[in-house]
Amino acid sequence: MNRVILFNKPYGVLSQFTDKGTEGSARPTLSAYIDQPGFYPAGRLDKDSEGLMVLTDNGALQARIAHPKYKRPKTYLVQVEGTPDPAALEALRKGVDLKDGPTKPAEVSQVDPPTNLWERDPPVRFRKTVPDAWLRITIREGRNRQVRRMTAHVGLPTLRLIRESIGDWHLNDLRPGAWRWASETGA
């Protein structure tokens, strides 16, 4: 049986166990939260993003979770700056042309601000003169900072990005920095 860990990565944490950055940078990594040997992240989440990461001790399963050819859906709650109009939402749904090529179509809906969300440290900047909105975006590929680049492309810069789910695995009530065991199938 392959072992799977679901982890709620806090803002500012690198999605790796060691920091290979500049010497003396001491950026927080997964090792500050997960002390299970032999586990590796199945995919990445940039340090400015929060939410669900799946880790496993099986390389084949890791590849099936992370590789885009398996088209495992990844769903994000995205706080954007500005007010989404129908044209911007439709562009995201159809796919947008980024510098590294067109994105595949995404599932996109505008949602009410989440009521059960934890505070972020540091907080998201707030400007009285610029409205913000929340979107739920599901993609089936995983380019570097893809969701952020997609929303910026349609004039809605991302302020906060939280991954809610990967395939059948969901964040649910897992708090930032906490992890739990899960089944291989995501049930």
Q: Which residues are catalytic?
A: 46
Q: What CA dihedral angle connects 89, 95, 96 and 97, to 10 degrees? A: -170
| Contacts of residue 118, Cβ cutoff 8 Å, sequence gap at least 6 | 175, 176
H or E element: which one contains 64? helix 59-66
| Contacts of residue 81, Cβ cutoff 8 Å, sequence gap at least 6 | 127, 130, 132, 156, 157, 158, 159
Half-sphere CA count of 157, side-chain side, radius 13 A = 6
137: β partners: 76, 108
With beta carbons less than 8 A apart as the criterion, state whether 92 and 108 touch: yes
